[in-house]
A and B are shown apart, each in its own frame.
Chain A
Amino acid sequence: MGVIITPAMVGQVVISGLLAGALYSMVALGLALIFGVMRVINVAHGTILMLGAYTTFWWFQLLGINPYLSLLVSMPLMFLLGVFLQRSMVHRVVDAPELSSLLLTFGISIALVNVTQYAFSSDVRSVEFLTGSFLVGPLALSKSRLVSFAFAVGLTLFAFWFLQKTKLGKAIRATSQSREVAMVCGVNVQRIHLYAFGMASALAAAGGSLVAVVVAIQPEMGQVYTFKSFLVIVLGGAGNYPGALLGGMLLGLVEQLSSLFLTTQVSEAVAYVLLVLVLLLRPTGLLGGRST
């Protein structure tokens, strides 16, 4: 029992796809950073996003602080958590086979999720702020998604500016191109790893804070975003930072359009089938791997 699909409907879901895609891009950029400099796949990325979301929730709930302002709290907080995780555990598996880092970060992830469940319970929470939408002709533009989109784009551009222009950013890019060369050029690679993990976690936290305003949150919400970030960085080419942007937007669009033309159920599979196709036809991702 379907409905006839009109251009207005396509327009509507394309907008939804782009709005969601910008968030995916930003979060996945974090994962790409870690993968770029360390070749580590961080399965706990979505968990850090979840913690960022809870930070925003509690600031809003207890202190009534504007959820967008709480980015100023959640990002530094998760930056520190990222640095701590890298310093205490992850640095020991940087050169190990990928199995070690996959498992280690998974272990960190379920421990953190379970602690969160215990501390905050599994009850679903949400930040009701800026609900509703602007109506433009046949299209409805969600206010909270628009603002989240703007923040995501802004933060992503800032991250790119940082990577391109600052000394630290250049060192990060150099490390992800070739660790040996970076070392020879006097880059302290260990420190770069710390910064990369911290920055990545801050980006995830930003994602969490922005997601908290858009959908309800709960302790197990993170895994979905980890998986989506996997998809994004593989689509765009792992370790390729502009690729993460493209991948995020693409994923947002594919999800929405396949939900429209097929069903929401099937859209999950469509994204993965696309992933496998890209891997097989262009194993280095759409924009090619590693280059920056």
Chain B
Amino acid sequence: MRTAFRSMTGLATALVVLAGSWAPASAQAPIKIGASLSLTGTYAALGQNQHRGYQLCAKHVNEKGGVLGRKIEFVLYDDQSQPATGVRLYEKLITQDKVDLVMGPYSSAITEAVANVNEKYKMPMVAPMASTTSIFKKGRKFIFMVQSAAEVYLEGLVEMAAKRGLKTIAIINEDTLFPKATVQGTIELAKKNGLQVVFVEAYPKGNTDFSAILTKIRAANPDVLGAATYFDDAVAITRQMKELNVNPKMYGVTVGGDLPTFYQLLGKNAEFVYGATQWEVELPYPGAKEFLQAYSMEFPGRDLSYHSAGGYGGCQVLVEAIKRAGSLDGEKIREAVLKLDINTVYGGFKVDPDGFQISHKMVMFQWQEGKKVIVWPDELAAGKALFPTPPWTRR
């Protein structure tokens, strides 16, 4: 009984002390930037990519003497790809760790959840990896979008198809927030460009067998197949298309097609596949070459995807805003971000008063001879699309 009593009172004290304690920040300390990322769980591969972008950005900023005379330092946690954990961690970053500013997590779903937290504390959050429009169109004032919207990921595919006189499109997607937004956007774009949508179906996250869904697509025989993917599924779908001999004249994926691993995994079978991407190494954005070099020095052998560049670019945006605001005050930084019109490693950055991105450009590439050749939009294109995609039996 006595033990129980002691442990109870001990517990009560411990809890109150634990939850109420924090260390005051000193003036000369580095600027602390908080973030939680999906380092384990279902989004781990992409979250880790973003993490490397943040790390590299902090390193570069500090090598150049930091900002406002102070170095920057990331306080980073793992949200295990779970929105609830993300919410708790952002609350912790802001109120317990007393970070000066926050950067966004990975994925639209987790950003949607944590956006309520930073909003509550009026702390600006540059969210590099959230592209679902609805997140930014809810009247939130302190969240800023860095990349193009989910809805326009497949704009290039649809436009190119329409230009070549194709008539029908099938769309499949993973059943989560971001890919679903892509599908809705693509249906709209297809209608606008005069393409008929002949098949739409979602598959659950983590699905590996696409035999049935591809069998249906083969029967629908669309000219174009667009897949709103997250990488694992992009690889599996491409492979199983060959196995089931599904032959659209154009086939494009959203996330994952751009990773070098996509080609390493699929080899020749990745040829002719179109991929939507927010960023490519060879795009003529300032600092992109240096970024690439530094990245391969710092993280040899690791994948480089647009998620790393986005993390880096988002961090650049924040640092630039701090510089222009001349302070760490949330309102002032918000003002500064809204006025920014710059180019980062990741491309253009300018947001409307809602924080919605209006300058960043989406590009469409096609795998040709093991290289990603940018084929859309015309002003950024480095080559011509190989059209139509030959049937699997004639490759």
Residues of A whose CB lies within 8 Å of any CB of B are: 1-6, 9, 12-13, 16, 20, 114, 117, 121-126, 128, 131-133, 135, 140, 142-145, 215-216, 218, 220-221, 224, 255-257, 259-260, 263-265, 267-268
Tell me which residues across on chain B come within 8 A of A142, comparing CB atoms.
240, 243-244
- In the complex, what's the smallest C-beta–C-beta distance from A272 to chain B, in angstroms? 13
Asked if B231 CB lies within 8 Å of chain A CBs, one says yes
A207 to B237, CA, bound (A): 21
Contact with A along B195-211 (1 / 0, CB 8 A): 00111111110111111
Task: Give chain B residues whose Cβ lies under 8 Å from the Cβ of A144.
Answer: 243
20 more contacts with CB within 8 A, not counting A9-B215, A131-B239, are A1-B197, A3-B199, A3-B220, A13-B215, A121-B302, A122-B48, A125-B261, A126-B265, A131-B269, A133-B242, A140-B245, A142-B244, A145-B243, A216-B235, A216-B265, A220-B44, A264-B203, A264-B210, A265-B175, A265-B203
Residues of A within 8 A of B48 (CB): 121-122
Contact partners of A124 in chain B: CB under 8 A:
45, 231-232, 235, 261, 265
Contacts between chains A and B (CB distance < 8 A), count: 131
Q: B12 within 8 Å of A by Cβ?
A: no
- B42 cross-chain contacts in A, Cβ below 8 A: 220
Please encode chain B, from 283 to 309, with 1 for each CB lying within 8 Å of some chain A CB and 0 for all others. 000000000000000000011000000
Q: Decide if B242 touches A132 in the complex (CB within 8 Å).
A: yes
- Give per-residue flags for B202-241: 1 if the beta carbon is below 8 A from chain A beta carbons, else 0: 1110111111110110111000000000011001100110
Shortest Cβ distance from residue A250 to the other chain B in the assembled complex, whole angstroms = 16
B133 on interface, CB distance cutoff 8 Å: no
A257 and B204 CA atoms in complex are apart in Å by 16
Nearest-CB distance from B227 to chain A (Å)? 13
A6 touches B303 (CB 8 A): no
Q: Is the CB of B216 within 8 A of A3?
A: yes
Bound Cα distance from A1 to B236, whole angstroms: 23
| A3 cross-chain contacts in B, Cβ below 8 A | 198-199, 216, 219-220
Q: Report how far A260 CA is from B235 CA in the complex, Å.
A: 21
- In the assembled complex, the CB of B203 is this many whole angstroms from the nearest CB of chain A, namely 4
15 A–B contacts from the bound complex (CB under 8 Å): A5-B216, A9-B215, A9-B216, A12-B211, A16-B211, A16-B212, A122-B40, A123-B303, A126-B239, A131-B239, A218-B232, A221-B208, A259-B213, A260-B216, A263-B203
- Closest CB in chain A relative to B32 CB, distance in Å: 26
9 tightest CB-CB pairs across the interface, nearest first? A259-B212, A122-B44, A16-B211, A142-B243, A264-B203, A260-B212, A122-B45, A140-B245, A3-B220
Interface flags for B120-137 (1: CB within 8 Å of A; 0: not) read 000000000000000000
Residues of B within 8 A of A143 (CB): 243
Contact present for B206 and A224 (CB under 8 Å): yes
- Give chain A nearest CB distance to B389 CB in angstroms: 15
Interface pair A12/B235, CB less than 8 Å apart: no
Q: 8 Å CB contacts to A: which residues of B246-298?
A: 261, 265-267, 269
The answer for the CA separation of A11 and B303 in the assembled complex, in Å, is: 40
* Smallest beta-carbon distance A199→chain B, Å: 26
Contacts of A114 in B (CB 8 A): 40
